[in-house]
Structure 1
Amino acid sequence: MPAHLLQEEMSGSYTTTTTITAPSSRILPNGGGKLEKTLHLEEDIRPEMKDDIYDPSYKDKEGPRPKTVYVWRNIILMFMLHLGAVYGVTLLPTCKFYTWLWVLFYYVVSALGITAGAHRLWSHRTYKARLPLKVFLIIANTMAFQNDVFEWARDHRVHHKFSETDADPHNSRRGFFFSHVGWLLVRKHPAVREKGALLDLSDLKAEKLVMFQRRYYKPSILFMCFIFPTFVPWYFWGETYLHSLFVATLMRYTLVLNATWLVNSAAHLYGYRPYDKNIGPRENLLVSLGAVGEGFHNYHHSFPYDYSTSEYRWHVNFTTFFIDCMAALGLAYDRKKVSKATVLAKIKRTGDGSYKSG
């Protein structure tokens, strides 16, 4: 018996929320107690999307690990970027007030380009967006400079489907540093390329905005991530060039990068697992603060099809608040949300006992 789909009209015809309810328990014919029927709920809530669902059957190949090949260009550029960011920190006390506001604005908008855009919309298809919102999210994602949406979503789907195996691009079993930034400094494990090539990415290829961004990505990130955020403070309120470059651009960009990386590292290594103790991802509020809502990671890996990536919606989750605001404006719709009954059933079945209701 398939799970129930309930359509709730929130504020007009364009702000529906799809909710999955858990199946009811049944008594075995022989009186042997209750039978909890396991349903692949994602098949009901999101029938068009399967390639980000965890595959527990996949196991790493036996034998020695392939030789690590360092990408020295990335190592040098990442070192220089972080060096510039550290210098930017020393300039913070002498920044103009408007520069502080500009850094905060650019940080939040570019973060939304990752969280609401590349992650929840294009990687997981947890909600649908109208053209104006898609345009905003593509621009915001370009501001963030973390690979174009197509590549980001492809790698993220592989990460979910083969989490914490050699096919996971930032496999946390290889340690904090590797899952945080090290994976960008070496060649991908052959299993990542092999499994990534097997995914169905037709939905991304059909997105004209996504493919447009991919085609013009290099000049776009040069302008949106580096030139524009440096130019604005210098031109409009007379900030010095050094402050504009090292604070508004290099420091801000580095902060956004590390906030995102903490989801791959800290949120896979530190925290509780109230929904599924059998997987590595954990609930980490500090990560959620920095990553505007992405730190409820045990929940997210348990229910990747939930648009909120959290049971609690707006609680330490600015991205969910943003999506809900867009829904109120009619720009976001068909938000997927897992029902409380389904969540509680999951907690009872596989949680680590740390869950506190209310």
Structure 2
Amino acid sequence: MAPNSNDATGVLQETDDDVSSNQVLQQITKSEKSKLIIVWSNVMYFVILHVGALYGLWLLLTSAQIWTCLWVFAMYEFGEICITAGVHRLWSHRSYKAKWPLRLFHTMGQTLAFQDAVVDWARDHRVHHKYSETDADPHNAKRGFFFSHMGWLMCRKSKQVKEKGKEPDISDLYADPILRYQKKYYMLFMPLMCFAFPTVVPLYFWNESLKTAFFVNIFRYIFSLHATWLVNSAAHLYGEKPYNKHINPAENLAVSLIVNGERWHNYHHTFPWDYKAGEFGRYGTNLTTVFINAMAKIGLAYDLKFVPEDVVKRRVHKTGDGSHAVWGWGDKDQTVEEISKTIVAYNQS
């Protein structure tokens, strides 16, 4: 269940400057697009990995044991939940706090996902939010779908990205001994967690072949990357904007189904401190929030921040595109009052 106001200590209010803040940020680093310099070694790296992933998918569908299929799914979910609930909502946005067992769990899963160390991932993500859709945004969606999806990883960082990347205060990340340890030994832990561990388990416990275990895991890794990348690309280009029509991020259901609840991207970029990363926290399309709520119930997560309903409503009226189900065009079968009562009851449950 989603926590009510008694469960959270970080309920934040909107200031008068919030409405125009995104428009102002769009102007900060506006300039001619910096020239892209392709890193061909990275291109070849991704080509090889994708060929291996396609072979792994074929093996998954034709010869992998049922336990291997279940194992791959479990490893995918482990990595994704530690990206969404861990490095994203916990460390990048500090939308809630976690005790050390949960922080360790998130660090292990984030290492399994192999998307750089937590401190580097969170730093880049903070830059992305501050300079979204400018030349200082590492994966600027205004350069097109492919660039924002994966092309940015095949190019050298632009001058603007490098300069603005020095701005975020990440002292809070280095203050965590778990993150310092991961950063220091990342190149040792990552191969073990991302490639060795997921391959060895099927070999040892149910005698899967080495070829199948290895390439199926490569498929898991590449699929996980594309799932995360879709938040940078599709969720920044396609969908409705019920909270802020002046920014690129949009609500995209298809993305949520494979990234455990990161579909509510227009909401998230409007209220990045909300631990739910969406207005509603218990829907099946926001499994990350379900996970965080479960961790809160057992005391491993606490100080969950969320945005009050009246603040959301004001923002919808000020900058929304009219697509909000309650305060936008409305629901054809229910009155606004009926839907509002449903939301209130939901939030208090």
The equivalent position to 1:253 in structure 2, one of 221, 231, 234, is: 221
Query: Which of 111, 114, 118 is the equivalent residue of 2:83?
Result: 114
Provide the residue aligned with 1:46 in structure 2: none
Q: 2:232 aligns with which of 264, 270, 278?
A: 264
- SS of 1:184's partner is helix
The one-letter amino acid paired with 2:230 is L
1:144 equivalent among 107, 113, 119: 113
2:174 is the counterpart of 1:182: no
Q: Aligned AA for 2:169?
A: D
- 1:142-221 correspondence to structure 2 within 5 Å: 142-221=111-190
Q: Does the C-alpha gap of structure 1 residues 61 and 163 become closer, same or farther in structure 2, counting only changes over 3 Å?
A: closer
Q: Displacement of 1:314 after TM fit?
A: 2.1
Distance 1:274 1:8 in 2: 24
Report the alpha carbon displacement of residue 196 of structure 1 after superposing the two structures with TM: 1.3
Shift of 1:99: 0.7
What stretches of structure 2 of length at least 5 have no aligned partner? 327-338, 340-349
Secondary structure at the residue paired with 2:310?
Answer: helix
Q: TM-score, normalised by structure 2?
A: 0.88
Match of 1:38 among 8, 13, 16: 16
Q: Which residue of structure 2 aligns with residue 8 of structure 1? A: 5
What are the equivalent positions in structure 2 for 1:58-77 lying under 5 Å apart? Answer: 58-63=27-32, 65-77=33-45
When structure 1 is superposed on structure 2, of 132-141 and 54-63 the one drifting more is: 54-63
Partner of 1:34: none
Q: Which amino acid counterpart does residue 226 of structure 2 have in structure 1?
A: N
Cα pair distance change 1:226/1:265, threshold 3 Å: same
User: Are 2:283 and 1:305 equivalent residues in the alignment?
Assistant: no
- Moved beyond 4 Å, runs of 4+: 52-55
Say which SS state the counterpart of residue 163 (structure 2) adopts: helix
Aligned residue pairs: how many?
A: 322
Of 303, 319, 342 in structure 2, the residue corresponding to residue 350 of structure 1 is 319
The 1:267/1:342 distance shift into structure 2, 3 A limit, reads same
Change (3 A) 1:339 1:61: closer
Distance 1:66 1:353 in 2: 35
Say if 1:83 and 1:336 are closer, same or farther in 2 by CA, change over 3 A. same
2:254 is matched by which residue type in structure 1? L
The amino acid across from 1:201 in the alignment is: I
Aligned letter for 2:10?
T
* CA RMSD after TM alignment: 2.0
Residues 111 and 38 (structure 1 numbering): CA distance in 2 closer, same or farther, change over 3 Å?
same
**Per-residue CA distance 1:155-204 (angstroms, 9 max, x = gap):** 00000000000000000000000000000000011111111112212111
Q: Secondary structure at the match of 2:11?
A: strand
Question: Residue 289 of structure 1: SS of its match in structure 2?
Answer: helix
What do residues 24-52 of structure 1 show as CA deviations (whole Å, max 9, x unaligned)? xxxxxxxxxxxxx72659xxxxxxxxxx9
Q: Distance in 1 between matches of 2:238 and 2:53?
A: 26
- Equivalent of residue 88 in structure 1, options 36, 50, 56: 56
Counterpart CA distance in 2 for 1:53 and 1:347 is 15
Which amino acid in structure 2 is aligned with residue 38 of structure 1?
D
Quick one: distance in 1 between partners of 2:231 and 2:65? 31
Q: Which shows bigger deviation, 171-180 or 91-100?
A: 91-100
Match of 2:198 in 1: 229
Residue of structure 2 equivalent to 1:295: 263
Distance 2:118 2:28 in 1: 28
Structure (1/2) with the larger strand percentage: 1
* Residue 68 (structure 2) aligned to one of 99, 121, 135: 99
Distance in 2 (CA, whole Å) between partners of 1:314 and 1:100 is 28
Identity of matched residues, %: 49
Alignment partner, residue 283 of structure 1: 251
Q: Structure 1 or 2: larger helix share?
A: 2
Alpha-carbon distance in 2 for matches of 1:77, 1:345: 47
Report deviation, 1:74: 1.3
**Relative to structure 1, is the Cα distance of residues 139 and 53 closer, same or farther in structure 2, using a 3 angstrom cutoff?**
farther
Cα 1:346/1:61, change in 2 over 3 Å = closer
Q: CA separation in 1, counterparts of 2:57 and 2:167?
A: 43
In the alignment, the residues of structure 2 paired with residue 266 and residue 155 of structure 1 have an alpha-carbon distance, to the nearest angstrom, of 19
CA contact (8 A) 1:86 1:251 kept: yes
One-letter amino acid matched to 1:245: F
CA-CA distance at 1:70 after TM superposition: 1.5
Quote the residue 1:318 is aligned against. 287
Q: Distance in 1 between matches of 2:66 and 2:30?
A: 55
For 1:304 and 1:158, locate their aligned partners in 2 and report how far apart those are by CA, in whole Å. Answer: 13
Which residue number in structure 2 is paired with residue 332 of structure 1? 301
Using the TM superposition, give the Cα deviation of residue 18 of structure 1 relative to its aligned residue in structure 2, in angstroms: 3.2
The letter of the residue matching 2:118 is V
**Secondary structure of 1:56's match?**
helix
Structure 1 gap ranges (5+): 1-5, 11-15, 23-36, 42-51
